[in-house]
């Protein structure tokens, strides 16, 4: 079951040039597609409320943002991407950039566990 909710406040908005690179060590669901483990880039798209996902092979997907974590919900620590594991499936759920609002792409009320994968901010 998917649920979307979010809070407004005062964090710096992400810019189109905010791009993260990371090595995801497991297969995961995003944009309704199962993606294999590997190196990916996540970019805040110029279209509002969309994150562009690009694999090392150049495959692309657009992920709808359900909400933005702002105010006290800016990055809880290092640059990272959160995944929720429901059953045996990981779902890309959040993108965190230091000093910038976070982005939520998935949430569930089902029993789940969370895994954070470190990421690097790419230069413009």
97 vs 119: CA distance, rounded Å: 9
Question: pLDDT digit string (tens) for 45-91?
Answer: 767 789 999 999 999 999 999 998 775 555 556 789 999 999 999 99
Q: Report the largest interatomic distance among the alpha carbons of the chain, rounded to a whole angstrom.
A: 38
Closest CA to 115 of 55, 6, 27, 51: 27
Say how many C-beta atoms besides its own lie within 10 A of residue 120's C-beta: 12
Distances (CA, A) of 87 to 66, 90, 108, 110: 22, 8, 12, 9
Higher-pLDDT residue of 68 and 28 is 28
Spans of all domains in the chain: 19-121
* pTM: predicted TM-score of the whole model, two decimal places: 0.80
């Amino acid at each position: 079951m998917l649920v979307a909710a979010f809070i407004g406040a005062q964090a710096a908005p992400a810019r189109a040039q905010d791009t993260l690179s990371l090595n995801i060590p497991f297969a995961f669901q995003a944009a309704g597609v199962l993606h294999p483990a590997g190196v990916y880039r996540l970019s805040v798209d110029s279209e509002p409320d969309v994150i562009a996902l690009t694999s090392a092979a150049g495959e692309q997907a657009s992920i709808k943002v359900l909400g933005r974590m702002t105010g006290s919900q800016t990055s809880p620590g290092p640059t990272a991407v959160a995944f929720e594991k429901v059953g045996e499936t990981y779902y890309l759920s959040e993108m965190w950039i230091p000093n910038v609002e976070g982005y939520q792409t998935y949430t569930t009320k089902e029993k789940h566990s969370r895994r954070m994968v470190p990421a690097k901010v790419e230069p413009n």
